[in-house]
Amino acid sequence: EVKLVESGGGLVQPGRSLKLSCAVSGFNFNDYWMGWVRQAPGKGLEWIGEINKDSSTINYTPSLKDKFTISRDNAQNTLYLQMSKLGSEDTAIYYCARETTPMLMDAWGQGASVTVSS
């Protein structure tokens, strides 16, 4: 069974940083691009970015490029999202997703909730 499990979410103060993890199982992590998508409360889906199999290519949506960093550890079957300079506009559920081809998400985690508030 394909499983993606996000962790590391929670309440964080404005201006601070937070790192999310996504542990995967049930498929060969090394064979897939992986991505992050977020959803603000009551809103639609926003693609954050993606990383290729060996981390040599990382793409971001331009508006988030300077504050978010995607990485992966193939030995640990884990994807990461480092978020910095967080503001209230970053309050959202953050989903990790497997990409069957770049920018096509065929499996999703259950999401990690991030709330930015003082």
Partner 1 sequence: DIVLTQSPALAVSLGQRATISCRASQSVSISRYNLMHWYQQKPGQQPKLLIYRASTLASGIPARFSGSGSGTDFTLTINPVQADDIATYYCQQSRESPPTFGGGTKLELK
* Interface positions with partner 1 (CB under 8 A): 37, 44-47, 59-62, 95, 100-111
Give min distance, CB of 86 to partner 1, in A.
20
Pick 80 or 95: Cβ nearer partner 1: 95
Pick 14 or 104: Cβ nearer partner 1: 104
Query: Within 10 A of 47 (CB to CB), how many other CB atoms are there?
Result: 16
Q: Which are the contacts of 32, defined by CB distance < 8 A and separation ≥ 6?
A: 53, 98, 99, 100
Give min distance, CB of 75 to partner 1, in A.
26
Give min distance, CB of 100 to partner 1, in A.
8
Contact 28, 34 (CB under 8 A): no
Chain position carrying tokens 């970053």: 90
